[in-house]
Structure 1
Amino acid sequence: MKLENYEEYDDPILYDKENEPFIAELPYLLKWAERLEGPIIDLACGTGRITIPMAQNGHRMIGVDIHKGMLQEAVKKSSKFDLKIDWVEQDCTKMDLTIKSNFIYSVGNSFQHFLTNDAQDELLVSVNKHLEIGGIFIFGTRFPSNEELLQPSTEEYWKTYTDNDTQNLVDVYTISNYDSLNQIQHYTTIRRYKNEAGELIDEKTTNIRLRYVFPKEMERLLHSHGFQIVNVNKDWKGNPITNDCYEMIYVCKKIK
């Protein structure tokens, strides 16, 4: 997979400011890690948002990502601790690691970055190749509800947060357009930076595309690549999927 569609990740510092505090996946993944022996592979690990705390809980981790800048920040952050983490710059669809694992996971809805059927197939072949028979693969992806797909194509306010370094307020807006034929949502994110007086001092715009997969489609896809679906949850607390959920968390077992 070519390094494209990554504007949102070209600034690892900004990514961590907006995402690092959120570790809802951690307790769920730790429960599974306690049942499974050996090294754990974190696919599309980014700056190590979950990889590092998993290692801090005593697990040997392998973080794989294609984005050099994100991995460099992960190495910088983890170097402050004595942790068992191998950071690997590789395409997740073409992984070539020297080990197999009993546990592979991917968080942050990274599955949606694989935009084509071929890319999804290559990812699952790659995961299967590195997973032991009976091993577990866990990943999340956004639920393709009407509310999620049919968002307004005009600029819409999303959230405001304070930049911890500058103390400036950052107003975040989004524009979305859903391509039904390709099941891809085109997102534009606009960040407007304001000083203490409320004056606009900077503006940054990024674009990203995300593939949506429907539950029955995912069921067929996973089965065709040798996975049995153990659970489908609507969140990282383990609650069962519903028609009004926002995420689908898949727990899969390699059976062939």
Structure 2
Amino acid sequence: MEKSDNFEEYEDPILYDKENEFYRDDVIFLEKWAKKSKGIIIDVACGTGRATIPLAQKGFNLIGVDLHKGMLREAKKKASNLNLQIEWIEQDCTKLELKVKSEFIFSVGNSFQHFITNEAQDGLLMSVNRHLEKGGVFIFGTRFPSSEELIQPASDEEFWRSYIDTETENKVDVYTISSYDPLKQVQHTTTTRKFKNWDEEVVDEVRTNISLRYTFPKEIERLLTMNGFQIIYVNKDWNETPLTEDSSQMIYVCRKVKNI
């Protein structure tokens, strides 16, 4: 991701893993494409290696790139514990200089939304283009800008979900407050995590802020074309379901057709 105030949401990499490590739909999908490529695979905005590490465990050669020191530190620790040889690189993904080209680059976890300006989106796609071989594949996901999601007025704190902390085995309730800026197409969200004890009493609270860009399908189509990509297809999920107007996600599979 590019450097921004969004770092706040990722200041606790261990908490991030507790809440996200279980998700594997994208990894299963990426493995199918990894088998079609040769050489190094690049995970852009890799975070703690949620997708990088399981692909490396399957025998693929991976580079993970991110700008957040803490997330990369945790990724390195996890890979070392598993004796995996993954190259972890701290760089701004809008200005990549990896001195290597790949047949396959991906970015998951809706990381595309962290590039909230037009310049940042172009920078990301140009960086990916420069590091892809001609005919190489770029796969990324981003949330679908549905009217249901975006036309709602700024809300009071709303309950989102609960989960069980794997370390303490206690419940964590998660609440959010969101507001959408239609001029910038950016949604600002404050997330509050309320940690409970065995008696269901709140014993700690953590509050973080994040801002995410929503980009419409026709915008992305133009962005990709301008930056040397051809869309192979776009789906609504990692199970290859075609995109519909009621989608919550957009999964793009693109091919580099020209240098930028």
TM-score (norm 2): 0.96
* 1:244 alignment partner in structure 2: 246
In 2, the alpha carbon distance for the partners of 1:221 and 1:49 equals 27
Structure 2: unaligned runs, 5 residues or longer: none
- Counterpart pick for 1:206 among 202, 205, 208: 208
In 2, the alpha carbon distance for the partners of 1:73 and 1:150 equals 37
* 1:141 alignment partner in structure 2: 142
* 1:101 alignment partner in structure 2: 102
In 1, the alpha carbon distance for the partners of 2:3 and 2:65 equals 15
Letter in 2 for 1:148: E
Residues 168-192 of structure 1 show CA distances to partners (whole Å, capped at 9, x for unaligned) of 2110011100000000000110111
| Residues 169-180 of structure 1 mapped to structure 2, 5 A cutoff | 169-180=171-182
* 1:226 alignment partner in structure 2: 228
Letter in 2 for 1:139: F
Residues 67-104 of structure 1 show CA distances to partners (whole Å, capped at 9, x for unaligned) of 00000000000102232310001111111001100000
In 2, the alpha carbon distance for the partners of 1:86 and 1:209 equals 29
Residues 104-148 of structure 1 show CA distances to partners (whole Å, capped at 9, x for unaligned) of 000000000001000001111110010010000000000000122
Does 1:217 pair with 2:215? no
Structure 1: unaligned runs, 5 residues or longer: none
Percent identical residues: 63
CA drift of 1:37 comes to 0.8
* 1:195 alignment partner in structure 2: 197
Does 1:49 pair with 2:50? yes
Local SS of the residue matching 2:175: strand
CA drift of 1:156 comes to 0.9
Local SS of the residue matching 1:5: helix
Determine if contact 2:5/2:210 at 8 Å carries over to the other structure: no
In 1, the alpha carbon distance for the partners of 2:142 and 2:169 equals 32
* 2:125 alignment partner in structure 1: 124
Determine if contact 1:3/1:67 at 8 Å carries over to the other structure: no
CA drift of 1:3 comes to 4.3
In 2, the alpha carbon distance for the partners of 1:26 and 1:108 equals 11
Does 1:24 pair with 2:25? yes
In 1, the alpha carbon distance for the partners of 2:97 and 2:221 equals 26
Local SS of the residue matching 1:79: helix
In 2, the alpha carbon distance for the partners of 1:169 and 1:32 equals 37
Local SS of the residue matching 1:6: helix
How many residue pairs are counted as aligned between the two chains? 256
TM-score (norm 1): 0.98
Determine if contact 1:106/1:139 at 8 Å carries over to the other structure: yes
In 1, the alpha carbon distance for the partners of 2:73 and 2:203 equals 29
Does 1:62 pair with 2:63? yes
* 1:165 alignment partner in structure 2: 167
Determine if contact 1:158/1:173 at 8 Å carries over to the other structure: yes
